Amino acid sequence: MSGTAGARMRGLSKRRGGAVSLGTVAVTGAAGNIGSVVRKALRREAARLILLDRVPLHPEAGNEEVHTVDLRDAAAVESALVGADRVLHLGGVPDEAPLPDLLEANVLGTHHVLEAARRTGIERVVMASSNRVTGFYPAGHLTGSHHPVRPDGLYGVSKVAVEALGRLYADKFGLSVICLRIGSFEQVPAEPRHLATWLSPRDAVGYIRAALAAPRSTRFATTYAVSANTRRFWELPDPAELAYVPVDDAELHAAHILGADLPADPTAPQAGPYAQPEFTLKHLRP
């Protein structure tokens, strides 16, 4: 660890009112659905926010710095991340797409973020993975991060590679990397599957805040980021790895969801329609 990086990490251990100071936090994909919500929450807790996206952003607070960056441009990514203490990596293609596009945006883009972190002395990277890395487990199976991956499509495959890159940089270069397998991020659950998979905005912020502030001794961790849904089929985090307990439950919205009263098929894939061949076939060469 360089002297500058070490000084930054020692500064991050200080507490303000019982909370860990986040220092300067960089957020990729800051214009996205999750990025927009997290941006508002973190600007009150971070000394400075460095916001990256490929679409133009505008500062909304005095502690915000914005950069229009394509994650495929390694030099631009590294330049934007200089001075950051921690990185929240949300950028990339967020759904099924042709594999070359996913490899370029999600896998190569993640590599550029991790490499920039290594080169500039950033020691904590929180990365958005996806529940879709295990979408082929049946709905009756309580799935944890220790179970082998079963991606439900090409997007899931790209997120498996993202997690593998995080593990590599943790093991080989000593970065502290936490991968969050994001659930169905919605303001409110809107379909029967969401009763198991919903991630509320409040819980999303809670998971991300906990991951950014986790002890440096957490070298690598992968966990599902899902609300405390009665019908969930993913394990909640081990408190030793991530000190956050979700508070919202999709069941409170069940009365407003068509089909919520029908029994779920425990043998059906957790991914629901994402596991259907047609969902991927349209992205393959005819």
**What amino acid positions are annotated as catalytic residues?**
155
Secondary element (H or E) of residue 229: none
